[in-house]
Structure 1
Amino acid sequence: MKFAYKFSNLLGTVYHKGDIIFSSDGTTVICPVGNRITIYDLKNNKSSTLPVESRFNYNAIDLSPNGYILIAINEAGEAHVISMLSKMIIHKYRFKRPVKCIKFSPNGKYFAVCKENNVFIFDAPGLQTGNYNPFEMKRIYHDAIDDTRTLCWSFDSKILAVGSNDNTTRLYSMEKWANFKHCSLGSHSDMIIGCFFEKKSYDISTISKNGHLRIWECSIEPEDLVLYEPSKKREKKSNDSDSEDDVDLDRAIEKTEKQKHQQEKKNTKQSDEKINETNSKNDVKKFYYKLLAKHYLSDEVKKSDHNAILTAASYHSETRILVAGFSNGSFFLYELPEVNMIHSLSISQQAISSIALNSSGDWIALGCEQMGQLLVWEWQSETYAMKQQGHSNNMNCLAYSPDGQYIVTGGDDGKVKLWNTLTGFCTVTFTEHTSAVSHVLFSHNRKFIVSASLDGTARAYDLTRYRNFKTFTSPRPVQFSCLALDSSDEFLAAGGQDFFDIYLWSMKLGTLLEIMSGHEGPVSSLSFNPNPASTALASVSWDKTLKLWNAIENGSSHETIKLSSDGLCVVHKPNGEEVAVSTLDGQITFFDCKTSLQTGSIEGRNDLGSGRSDTDLITAKKNLEGKAFTTLCYSADGTCILAGGHSKNVCIYNVKESVLVKKFEITQNRSFDAVDDFINRRKLTEFGNMALIEEREEREGGNITLKLPGVKKGDMASRNIKPEVRVYSLEFSPTGQAWAAATTEGLLIYSLDVGLVFDPFELELGITPETIIKTLHDRDYSKALMMSLKLNENDLIRRVIENIPHNDVELTIINMPLIYIERLLKFIGVELEKTRHIHFYLIWVELIFTRHGDKINSALHMTTLLTLQKSMQQKYDDISKICDFNQYTINFIKKSAKLKAKNMNVSSDAIISINGDCSYATIEEMEIG
């Protein structure tokens, strides 16, 4: 089994906080998600997360006009220059203080940064400037009294407007102009939220936090700016004679020239003054601003909410549309300069944190920090181009679909969400639960999902009609902490947290079949035997016992196995012969299901690792004694086990050897608690730890960082929560190509990137790309294909397969040994996801199963078969939509032809001839190469 898993995507967390921006083509949204950056492709309906990770959460980002460079700055003021071509960080720069805003100039030559009360202007790296030093400072301005927070460049990149918390907007120029002076625009009574230049003009609009909009008119046009040129001084005349005999004469001449020069200087100064006075009167216009209008945008909002304040604004200069978002979740569209309201909508009850308009002005991106919500609204048609929201609180559990195409998650917010692993988007959300969801499961037939909650119910959801079709309850209210579904999808078991019983229901009838008692503590985990021939159930509890049940045959009779500590999780091996149990003392113990004997154990506490919280009074080493694995998952072949818990580390162990194979660090985000092993010395003073001091901010009513004793997930009475890093749930993909982790940061997907790793198979001397291509040209297809499989280069295997004529596929397969057939089938399963030669690859699949189907052991090759099923299901879903649409279109044309023929009294066959049969191009008509 390979372990070259790398981070591939982040699901479950759609938006955290910070700036939202559109790409230059207007079809892609880029937004920060914690300490990572996610790109939402609205055209292809896909999301991807950059393989870039910061030490703190990102809060300010901007993209260069050509789309090649992204600059992202985190909360600690560390800037990352990211190449959008290679998806890598190419430079780092530390501002050492928080940065509020960053903006590239329209010509791409500069970018400006707001830090405290300063504005820094840097030369941007790239071809526009011919400079590749990313942070070469060009200008710095210190005029602001309070922190600067927003920026806007003029269309020609000559003037920069900066809004600050001191209620003023200041204007700076990049060059020295004869008729321009740095000026400030006041008239506001609250901090500036946005300032926006007009198109092809220096007219500007400013908007403040209390909803006051000011429209300013500039006294000059852009072409009226005059470059400053100081008057040139006349150079002294020098005498070339250096003769010693003419020294006295030289002195006399020098004295005379000096007197002449002084007189000429005086005359020149007078003439310059006259010229400047004349130019100022005739040609050069003075630069100043005139206040044209005052508008109060918050008046409409305060009719329904008197406490609403403006939190975000954005302006599109082409269409002259202003979008203003407020703290009550509503946003308004205005047309400037008349400020006519053309649209309004309320999207939530929480404040809108960030707003962005795309290049055409049709789409509006809105981000809500508290809800974790990201919307793209098309205001002209009043439809959502994208509407995504993650779990507003912790994500507790996850489960893969049997084909690995979907992941279902449950969270503390009581919601059950279904995520598509290919697109990264949430497809459906179920909100029937009224309390935290503790466990979710996918049925083995992929038709429904089941969830358990602390509200005392277990619910089943239909994935065809997306509805809650069954609700399971107990005779008395019980908080369900875990679920298990048998291999036939007929029996559902749930364990209680406050009452220590296990409840067994029939999925078809919905009736309670059995209440199994025996545990003396909360039931923490359940697992049915995956073997179809068995209905055995394993359960662990805080009473330090593992119990093996067979309630369907023997009722409540069970076998009890004593554990070394409180049981936290139990899972069955894929073949059903073994169970693995994690306990509170950090151990993973393995038991044989038939003999109930212990077959092995892993001491994993030291591998788990532990950080030290800011408020901890003990060291990280001492804190490690209270850590344990809370979630386990076997790999598809059962040789390895994945384990995670109260830590940022996820471990993969070899079951047979009981050794650590690989450790993954899921995050480096210092915005979370307990990531570092040591407390920063800067926080330790003679009076104690600064982290124990309450912080209060404006308009928040007390921003408290302290947590109540014993609270780990976050105190609901606290205004500010700094959660600890945890792994709540883990699961391998059934295809074996990826694994997912539900963490404090969201749903992390780690997958195998086999294309970047040279991993040959039974490689022999003389097997090179050149020899493979020569063998292919000689039409020795079986040998060429086996040689390419040995070299294990995807591009080469693809080239060989697609150059084999479809008539020779069967003969090629017959001449290949079974060991190469397995690797070929695995390659086709992965390739079928992205190829357009669907029919051609399906011919290979059909002939492989026809000739070698009896030799393929489904137990050993389950991951390959599931990968193939996942790819074929994806292609079926995509093509079926197109076929259905075409069918409806053809039916519409036929109906229209009949109506037209009826009106004209002509046979419909004379107008249109459609027999209803669909003819498709065969593989012979396709050019494969």
Structure 2
Amino acid sequence: MKTEFKFSNLLGTVYCKGNIIFTPDGTCLLSPVGNRVTVFDLINNKSYTLPFSHRRNIARLALNPKGNLLLSVDEDGHSILTNFPRRIVLHHFSLRGSVSALSFSPSGRHFAVGIGRLIEVWHTPSTPESNSEDGLEFAPFVGHHVHAGHHDTVQSIEWSGDSRFFLSASKDLTARIWSLDPEDGFVPTTLAGHRESLLGAWFSHDQELIYTVSQDGALFRWEYSQKPQTNGNEELVDADSPLGWRIMQKHFFMQKNARMKCASYHPRSNLLVTGFSSGLFGLYELPDFNMIHTLSISQNDIDFVNINKTGEWLAFGASRLGQLLVWEWQSESYILKQQGHFDSMNALTYSPDGQRIITTADDGKIKLWDTQSGFCVVTFTEHSSGVTACQFAKRGNVLFTSSLDGSVRAWDLIRYRNFRTFTAPTRLSFSSIAVDPSGEVVCAGSLDSFEIHIWSVQTGQLLDQLSGHEGPVSSLAFAPSGGTLVSGSWDHTVRIWSIFGRTQTSEPLQMQSDVLHVTFRPDSKQIAVSSLDGQLNFWSVSDATQESGINARRDVSGGRKLTDRRTAANVAGTKAFNCIAYSSDGTCVIAGGNSKYICLYDVQSGILVKKFTVSVNLSIDGTQEFLNSRDLTEAGPLGLIDTQGEASDLEDRIDRTLPGSTRGDPSTRKFRPAIRVPAIAFSPTGRAFCAATTEGLLVYSLDTALSFDPFDLDIEITPSSTLNVLKQKDFLLALVMAFRLNEAPLIRRVYEGIPVSDISLVVKNLPPVYLARLLRFVAQATDETPHLEFNLRWIEALLRAHGPYWKDRQTIFAAELRTVGKAIGRIQSDLKRLADENCYVIDYLVSQASAGGDENKKGAEQMLLDEYAGPAKILAHIGTGEADGTEDEDMEDEWMGLGDDD
């Protein structure tokens, strides 16, 4: 089994805090999720998470105008500069302070950072595409100037269109105009007049006007003019007064008790969008202040709002419930509407085909996530309390969940509805669940009772209650082959039940400590048991004997909380695995617990194969091995000292929580999350596994979406040299060089430049390391290009030449083969539809000819000739297999009746 799993994606959470930004083309949205950045592709309906991570939660993001440099800054001021298209970290740098505003200039040469009351302007580091020869710099971050004039935190920085000036808005009730470089006759200007802290200040598109917005809902319009002089009821211009920025108009957002939380302005379309603490947003047209419409999109504060470059889409982020929305205001429809779990996740499971992941949480919600797109497809909210366990039936169309509300529910994942609800005779809170592979019987265990309840799925009736345990039942599992149920309890025993037998007897297996989790090996011959003393025990089901064991106390132990009196190595609460899962081939087992480590073991030898660190985020408890002694004071750790009373804003100083409370109303409580892994599961394909953690649903995969092959890559391998090799008709070398460079347009050009007659030879001699990438590319080209026969010839050659190789490695190439199968099925359905339409047309024309005389018959024959003369020529072109002519592509599109989307 391969063990080179790498972080692939982060699901379960879509927005935490900070600002959200659009890419320059407006098609992608970047959202800070804890200490990582998630990118939502709004056109292709996909999401992915960038591979790097910060040491604390991200506070600000910024993209340069070209869209190739991403600058992310965390709460401590540590910044990471990333090549956004390549997802490669270029530089690390510390800004030495908490950053509250960040913005690139329109020219892309500078960026401004608000650190407290100071504004620092830096030169943008050069890239290989810029003026530097090799793109490598000894000191990439070079300071340009520091502006000190505000008396409180800077909240917003906006540049003018020519990059010569920028506006800053601060909590000191003023906005200021600064110049990037010294300008003749220009002095920094202060715009004062608001009664509360400013949220934003912007230039108009022609830079003749300035708009400022404050937290109390006041909008001021400023113009550069002379001071007006009143003469009766008329206003005259005082010719002697100097020119300056003056308030020309005041507007107010009348939202009763709601306060403005965020605002964004689009200069080209003169649109202003504002978000309020009531979850309401308003869209206004300036300078006339015409309200276009308002809409309530959340139950809590809207923390950040942004507008894309074209002014069509509005993006909103609400951190309290973890909501992320993209609204198209012209059509009044959602482009994106996602919300993660706002409470800790308890359980997860993969669908049998590995395409979906189900997560359950303490918020009572069940969410279904698509592994390909990364989006939440559906959310079930029928449970009235926390959902503790979930499991699929073998076919994958039915999901079963257990909850603390005393019910076990069955869900139809075709119609997305709850079709069965199972309850016990007495009020119980169910904590574990197991489903018979046939889907006929469902079992549930509770920490309130020592019995196991069994229901019939068909009738919903309670069939039996299994007694035997002397403590709460903590875990249940059905054998994949069916007929055998295994249960683990806090009474230090694991029992094996034959529930379909004549007698409901059980075989007890004695443990040394409380049983936390049990699971079956895929062949149903072995069970793995995790106990409270940190042991992993493996038992034979047929003989009821222990085959092996692993002492995992040292492996799982790690991470110290701020409140811990002991070191990480001596904390007892982190020394056991709460969840374990077998790999698809049964050779390995993966486990996680209340620590920051996920451990992968080889079952046969009992060796720790790999150890995964879940998070390095210092904003979460339990991610440090040792506490910093500098943060320890006489009053305790600095992280536990409440500094809320020292906040500058009155709203931040008010404490509405109950004294000493750590639990209660989720909207008012204060808590510091701790790292833990409550659930873990392997994908049925064996190519990935996912873990439910404090930060979200982490997906680790063997298939990296963005791959780069550095082997044998020297300075001579360039796009131009690859095309020269293609012209010399060395097709195999050209294809390998294109894959090493990993440029999609270059790969497609080489791919389409290979003649049909040489396809089988190229595929036969292709190195095996490129097979998966070629198969994935051909499947993608089948969806995106109109070369029907050409793509099918490639697929046929690949399957003929390497079919046995893939057959022996089905789990490794399962994703690629499934993609090819879907592409071929789509082609089949399209051709069938087209053939049916043609048959209907021919039947209609023949019927018209038979109904009329000779003239109608001749006319129908001519229509048939005209109708199919074009397709005949096109078939002649397609038959040659050439795929590099745009005229042939247009003809083929016209004949197939397929557009680019098909």
Q: Which bin holds the TM-score, normalised by the shorter protein?
A: 0.7 to 0.9
Equivalent positions of 1:886-901 (< 5 A) are: none
Write the distance in 2 (CA, Å) between the matches of 1:507 and 1:170. Answer: 68
Change (3 A) 1:535 1:147: same
Letter in structure 2 aligned against 1:581: V
Please name the residue that 1:634 is paired with: 582
Helix, strand or coil: the match of 1:607?
Answer: helix
How big is the shift at 1:141?
A: 1.4
Write the distance in 2 (CA, Å) between the matches of 1:43 and 1:376. Answer: 12
How big is the shift at 1:689?
A: 2.9
Please name the residue that 2:251 is paired with: 295
Give CA deviations for 1:353-403 in whole Å, capped at 9, x if unaligned.
111101110000111111111111000000111111111111221111222
Please name the residue that 1:663 is paired with: 611
Please name the residue that 1:246 is paired with: none
Helix, strand or coil: the match of 1:553?
Answer: coil
How big is the shift at 1:103?
A: 0.5
Please name the residue that 2:497 is paired with: 549
Matched, 1:29 2:35: no
Please name the residue that 2:508 is paired with: 560
Please name the residue that 1:204 is paired with: 210
With normalisation by structure 1, the TM-score equals: 0.80
Change (3 A) 1:734 1:89: same
Please name the residue that 1:834 is paired with: 780
Letter in structure 2 aligned against 1:444: K
Which one of 688, 691, 702 corresponds to residue 636 of structure 2?
688
Helix, strand or coil: the match of 2:555?
Answer: helix
* Native 8 Å contact 1:695 1:703 kept in 2: no
* More divergent stretch after superposition (179-188 vs 577-586): 179-188
Please name the residue that 2:390 is paired with: 440
How big is the shift at 1:507?
A: 2.5
Write the distance in 1 (CA, Å) between the matches of 2:521 and 2:596. Answer: 25
Please name the residue that 2:147 is paired with: 141
Matched, 1:2 2:8: no
Q: How many residues align?
A: 821
Please name the residue that 2:892 is paired with: none
Please name the residue that 2:291 is paired with: 341
Please name the residue that 1:315 is paired with: 265
Which one of 463, 483, 508 corresponds to residue 433 of structure 2?
483
Give CA deviations for 1:880-919 in whole Å, capped at 9, x if unaligned.
9978998999999999999x99xxxx9997998799xx99
* More divergent stretch after superposition (4-13 vs 446-455): 446-455
Which one of 485, 493, 502 corresponds to residue 443 of structure 2?
493
Change (3 A) 1:687 1:742: closer
* Native 8 Å contact 2:116 2:154 kept in 1: yes
Letter in structure 2 aligned against 1:103: S
Write the distance in 1 (CA, Å) between the matches of 2:607 and 2:559. Answer: 23
How big is the shift at 1:465?
A: 1.6
* Native 8 Å contact 2:759 2:797 kept in 1: no
Matched, 1:733 2:679: no
* More divergent stretch after superposition (27-36 vs 617-626): 617-626
Equivalent positions of 1:462-611 (< 5 A) are: 462-531=412-481, 534-611=482-559
How big is the shift at 1:49?
A: 0.8
Larger Rg: 1
Change (3 A) 1:542 1:808: same
Change (3 A) 1:603 1:502: same
Please name the residue that 1:164 is paired with: 170
How big is the shift at 1:40?
A: 1.0
Instruction: Give the superposed CA RMSD.
Output: 4.4
Please name the residue that 1:674 is paired with: 622
Write the distance in 1 (CA, Å) between the matches of 2:276 and 2:833. Answer: 41
Please name the residue that 2:119 is paired with: 119
How big is the shift at 1:287?
A: 4.9
How big is the shift at 1:488?
A: 2.0
Please name the residue that 1:78 is paired with: 78
How big is the shift at 1:147?
A: 1.2
Give CA deviations for 1:791-812 in whole Å, capped at 9, x if unaligned.
9x999999999979699979x9
Letter in structure 1 aligned against 2:121: I
Write the distance in 2 (CA, Å) between the matches of 1:493 and 1:341. Answer: 57
Which one of 696, 700, 714 corresponds to residue 746 of structure 1?
696
Change (3 A) 1:827 1:82: closer
Letter in structure 1 aligned against 2:75: E
How big is the shift at 1:821?
A: 14
How big is the shift at 1:484?
A: 1.5
Change (3 A) 1:646 1:802: farther
Write the distance in 2 (CA, Å) between the matches of 1:640 and 1:797. Answer: 37
* Native 8 Å contact 1:16 1:34 kept in 2: yes
With normalisation by structure 2, the TM-score equals: 0.82
Write the distance in 1 (CA, Å) between the matches of 2:353 and 2:78. Answer: 41
Please name the residue that 2:48 is paired with: 48
How big is the shift at 1:823?
A: 10
* Native 8 Å contact 1:706 1:718 kept in 2: no
Change (3 A) 1:688 1:371: closer
Matched, 1:330 2:286: no
Write the distance in 1 (CA, Å) between the matches of 2:752 and 2:179. Answer: 61
* Native 8 Å contact 2:573 2:594 kept in 1: no
* Native 8 Å contact 1:546 1:563 kept in 2: yes
Identical-residue share of aligned pairs (%): 37
* Native 8 Å contact 2:776 2:820 kept in 1: no
Change (3 A) 1:469 1:387: same
Equivalent positions of 1:156-305 (< 5 A) are: 156-219=162-225, 287-297=243-253, 299=254, 301-302=255-256
How big is the shift at 1:729?
A: 1.1
Give CA deviations for 1:96-128 in whole Å, capped at 9, x if unaligned.
221101011111121111111111111122377
Matched, 1:392 2:324: no
Change (3 A) 1:843 1:741: same
Helix, strand or coil: the match of 2:395?
Answer: coil
Give CA deviations for 1:131-184 in whole Å, capped at 9, x if unaligned.
964321111111111111111111111221111111111111123233322121
Letter in structure 1 aligned against 2:223: E
Change (3 A) 1:58 1:656: same
Write the distance in 2 (CA, Å) between the matches of 1:749 and 1:314. Answer: 34
Give CA deviations for 1:300-339 in whole Å, capped at 9, x if unaligned.
x22xxx2x11001000000000000001111000000110
Helix, strand or coil: the match of 1:834?
Answer: helix
Please name the residue that 2:897 is paired with: none
Write the distance in 1 (CA, Å) between the matches of 2:743 and 2:800. Answer: 21
Matched, 1:702 2:702: no
* Native 8 Å contact 2:38 2:49 kept in 1: yes
Change (3 A) 1:867 1:89: closer
Helix, strand or coil: the match of 1:699?
Answer: helix
Please name the residue that 1:648 is paired with: 596
Please name the residue that 1:615 is paired with: 563
Please name the residue that 1:243 is paired with: none
**Unaligned stretches of 5+ in structure 2?**
227-237, 713-721, 783-789, 850-855, 885-902
Please name the residue that 2:302 is paired with: 352
* Native 8 Å contact 1:403 1:869 kept in 2: no
Write the distance in 1 (CA, Å) between the matches of 2:794 and 2:488. Answer: 46
**Unaligned stretches of 5+ in structure 1?**
221-280, 761-769
Please name the residue that 1:271 is paired with: none
* Native 8 Å contact 1:109 1:129 kept in 2: no
Write the distance in 2 (CA, Å) between the matches of 1:117 and 1:20. Answer: 23
How big is the shift at 1:703?
A: 7.6
How big is the shift at 1:627?
A: 2.5
How big is the shift at 1:618?
A: 2.1
* Native 8 Å contact 1:631 1:644 kept in 2: yes
Letter in structure 1 aligned against 2:378: V
Write the distance in 2 (CA, Å) between the matches of 1:592 and 1:530. Answer: 15
